[in-house]
């Protein structure tokens, strides 16, 4: 920064940053990669991968292409989701739920259950255990 200039506000993570970071995490896990392994392919630290996945740091277009190449997916995979307005706090909360240990595995398994009655039973069990 130039002398005499001040930053008026700190940059906060946007919903989009969190969404893209979550997609990076999902594809990294699906490929069986650790944060360290992905970081090694990209030439960054695993802490940087953590920041990307948490939406703390924005991912540049060049870095996003490198991540897509490392995960063997098209860059468009990061934008395949339905756009969410920055002000949609509920959507941000839903995205953050996938950071809970085991949540992604649970959602993938739940998605594969075709029987509606079985799905409802699992929801009832989860709600009972949560209360």
Q: What domain range is 25 assigned to? A: 15-86
Domain count, the chain: 2
Is residue 34 in some structural domain? yes
- Over the chain, what is the mean pLDDT? 82
Q: Contact 53/84 with Cβ under 8 angstroms? A: no
Residue 93, pLDDT > 60, answer yes
CB 85 within 8 A of CB 35: no
Contact 35, 63 (CB under 8 A): no
The answer to whether residues 60 and 108 belong to one domain is no
For residue range 21-80, list pLDDT tens digits in order: 989 998 898 888 999 999 999 999 999 999 999 989 999 999 999 999 999 888 888 887
The whole-number pLDDT of residue 83 equals 58
Give a three-class secondary structure readout of 62-98.
HHHHHHHHHHCCCHHHHHCCCCCCCCCHHHHHHHHHC
Q: Do 70 and 112 lie in a common domain?
A: no
């Amino acid at each position: 920064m130039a002398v005499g200039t001040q930053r008026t506000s700190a940059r906060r993570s946007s919903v989009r940053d969190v969404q893209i970071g979550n997609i990076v995490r999902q594809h990294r896990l699906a490929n069986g990669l650790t944060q360290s392994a992905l970081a090694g392919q990209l030439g960054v630290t695993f802490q940087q991968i953590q920041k990307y996945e948490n939406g703390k740091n924005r991912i540049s277009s060049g870095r996003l292409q490198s991540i897509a190449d490392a995960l063997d997916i098209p860059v468009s995979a990061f934008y395949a989701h339905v756009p969410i307005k920055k002000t949609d706090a509920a959507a941000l909360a839903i995205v953050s739920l996938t950071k809970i240990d085991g949540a992604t595995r649970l959602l993938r398994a739940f998605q594969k259950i075709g029987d509606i009655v079985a799905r409802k039973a699992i929801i009832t069990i989860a709600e009972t255990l949560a209360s």
